[in-house]
Structure 1
Amino acid sequence: MSGNERIENLKEAFFYKKLDDEKVQCELCPNYCVISSEKTGVCKVRKNIDGKLYSINYGEVSSIALDPIEKKPLFHFYPGSSIISVGTWGCNFRCSFCQNWEISQQRPLYLKRLTPSDLVLIAQEYIHEGNIGIAYTYSEPLVWYEFVYESSKLAKERGLKNVLVTNGYINEEPLSKLLPYIDAMNIDLKAFNNDFYQKVCGGRYEDILRTIELSVNSKVHVEVTTLIVPNGNDNLNELDEEFKVLSSISPDIPLHLSRYHPAYKYNKPQTSIDTLLKAFDLAKKYLNYVYLGNVWNEQYESTYCPKCGSLVIIRRGYDVKIANLDEEGRCKVCNNQILRKS
């Protein structure tokens, strides 16, 4: 099979440089993979073919569904709405507790192929069912960069919202190129401990903090998720530092503290509720909006006004009721702005 025949359905990658006739260096994320001919980087989806780097998962869809926006999770972005959620395969992390390892760590057997136009048309077809746009999720969307960039740009032109559910591990230049087309992000901040990050996931927390800060400063709606893993990232002193730093970026960043369950290579017992409650109380000292995930408790999933304490959004799982918010997203009791209107 000739080189042209092999690559006719692929997309040349953005953000890489040739090192010599055999090797290229990917510059999409801080892994900076040096990739030899016919090899891929850590993400498994960016491949050196004949001295050029290609996105081999371009247009390849592993999952697509209409989801509640709260499932991303996004609690302060069009609450109660739905969004077309779409994912591919591959990831630039290798989290040992990954819940979606079948698509993050390997190429699944069954994939659907879509163009950006196809995806946008699907999203438009579901507007009458409450769909607000497209969420790039399930696997890591940043390693699907070329497809996400082109799809989000087209979706923006059609009046649709774009959401990233991501580990946030991306370099500043590609992030800055993408952000004008992104409306909201849920970013995983997996720990405030680089030993845990590097051994269990890959990467460093400072790189994720930079993504959070750049995105917030670019007026993208950002929510953060930290999965609390027993004897991994649950040290309260480290968590205190995390919450303090997030607050310094913005005390209004909604934080989701999620309960870990055994998955993939991790068989540690699930996180205790006591640990989650201690982390919750600690986070509330710094941040206005803190939620517990994977516990299905209305008290810790609902939204309260940080100024007057009024219950403003009631959540029972994915059942959402707006209780004390006006049409501009302000608390009806004290007029405090809860939701930013975009």
Structure 2
Amino acid sequence: MSIARRTRHWRALADGRVCCELCPRRCRLAEGQRGLCFVRACRDGALVLTEAARPLGCRPDPIEKKPLYHFLPGSLTYSFGTAGCNLACRYCQNWEMSRARAAATGGGAPTDPARLVTAARTSGCRSLAFTYNDPVVFHEYALDCAAAAHAAGLYTVAVSAGYVLPAPRAEFYAAIDAANIDLKAFDDRFYRRLCGARLAPVLETLESLVHETAVWVEVTTLVIPGENDDPRRLHALSAWIAGHLGCEVPLHLSAFHPAHRMRDHAATPIATLMRAREIARANGLRHVYLGNLGNLGAEIGGETRCVSCGARLLARVGYRVVARALDETGRCLVCGARCQGVFTTAARDTALDHPARGPT
């Protein structure tokens, strides 16, 4: 399979350059130039994806590792990414892949989507996950893989920063069943200074997914000491989620560990995450989880509780579900109240719940 391929979202400019119209950067590239993502380039007057069909990090993972706690909990998802990313986060936890040239990753042979699907099914996975780097940058290949996954009866999962323009966003998420979107901070200055991006497009993506699609959505915020852990900012973030997305949307508060260009920062104290959870709950969010703390995170912040009677619906140790008290439709076995999420093992065409809807 050829690695480079023409892309879908771009336009030619009068001066001979091309404008990428995949993400809000709208990189304008002359012949031979690459975008910030590194994997999209101008060749022969067209925009091409240079690393198409070159997956990296292929392996089965617990779905909880994405993290998704209300989408087929306890199942496996076949995970992969590629080189490149359209953000430039100074603290990236997967920087070896997202900021690397493909040749530096030590792998990534061209792979037909059918081979990934076969590997997923052989591994006992229920879904295919586009993760590790942002699937925005391998948009066309991800769509090919999603089509192959659905044809084989697998669900599709995207882990993304949500930094994408409306047209490609609609095209991509029409093929996605569940997504975890990073809301890195409720602060445009944070996005500009530490990620080289803007906040507004991410908020637009979140509202679009929740209110205009059937994608199951969960949100993750990596809490970084001294950067986005101010209680006022955490209050604004969780209040926005409650008011604009709905109180049933799960929020994952994840611990930062020194990485990439921010190795001088301390890891997130557990007390900081617990305080952030209290703030989110005070703003009405019903499912707030603590992550990136190993087994301890599951013990202090990984349980799923019934919002009606308080019964423990799902107990987790690390990324493993060790006990459950809800049926396949997500109803509590104690009181019968509905927990919002996708818990059924039926075929893909089963209607997915909309996160903004309240319990029924």
TM-score by length of 2: 0.89
Kindly report structure 1 stretches of 4+ aligned residues shifted beyond 6 Å.
none
Is 2:11 aligned against 1:17? yes
Deviations 1:217-271 (A, max 9, x none): 2021011000001111111111111111111211111100011110011021111
2:65 to 71, 75, 97: 71
| Partner AA of 2:142 in structure 1 | V
Is 2:190 aligned against 1:196? yes
Quote the Cα distance in structure 1 between the aligned partners of 2:318 and 2:144.
Answer: 33
2:157 to 142, 152, 163: 163
Quote the Cα distance in structure 2 between the aligned partners of 1:310 and 1:17.
Answer: 54
Quote the Cα distance in structure 2 between the aligned partners of 1:173 and 1:334.
Answer: 43
- Which structure 2 residue ranges, 5 or more long, are not aligned? 343-351, 353-360
Deviations 1:257-295 (A, max 9, x none): 011110011021111222111101000122110000122
Q: Which moved more, 1:7-16 or 1:224-233?
A: 7-16
Is 2:305 aligned against 1:304? yes
CA contact (8 A) 1:183 1:220 kept: yes
Q: Which moved more, 1:251-260 or 1:268-277?
A: 268-277
The match for 1:257 is 253
CA contact (8 A) 1:11 1:58 kept: yes
The match for 2:26 is 32
Q: Which moved more, 1:34-43 or 1:321-330?
A: 321-330
The match for 2:115 is 118
SS in 2 for 1:147: helix
CA contact (8 A) 1:33 1:41 kept: yes
Quote the Cα distance in structure 2 between the aligned partners of 1:121 and 1:273.
Answer: 40
Quote the Cα distance in structure 2 between the aligned partners of 1:205 and 1:187.
Answer: 13
What RMSD, in angstroms, separates the aligned Cα atoms of the two structures? Answer: 1.5
CA contact (8 A) 2:2 2:110 kept: no
Seq. identity, % = 38
Quote the Cα distance in structure 1 between the aligned partners of 2:62 and 2:313.
Answer: 19
CA contact (8 A) 1:90 1:105 kept: yes
2:278 to 278, 281, 284: 281
Alpha-carbon distance change, 104 to 313 in structure 1, aligned in 2, over 3 angstroms: same
The match for 2:349 is none
2:233 to 220, 238, 241: 238
Quote the Cα distance in structure 2 between the aligned partners of 1:57 and 1:330.
Answer: 44
| Partner AA of 1:186 in structure 2 | N
| Partner AA of 2:326 in structure 1 | L
Quote the Cα distance in structure 1 between the aligned partners of 2:178 and 2:324.
Answer: 23
Aligned residue pairs, count: 333
TM-score by length of 1: 0.94
Shift of 1:56: 0.6
Shift of 1:209: 1.4
Deviations 1:149-176 (A, max 9, x none): 1110221122110000111111111111
Quote the Cα distance in structure 1 between the aligned partners of 2:172 and 2:214.
Answer: 13
CA contact (8 A) 1:89 1:140 kept: no
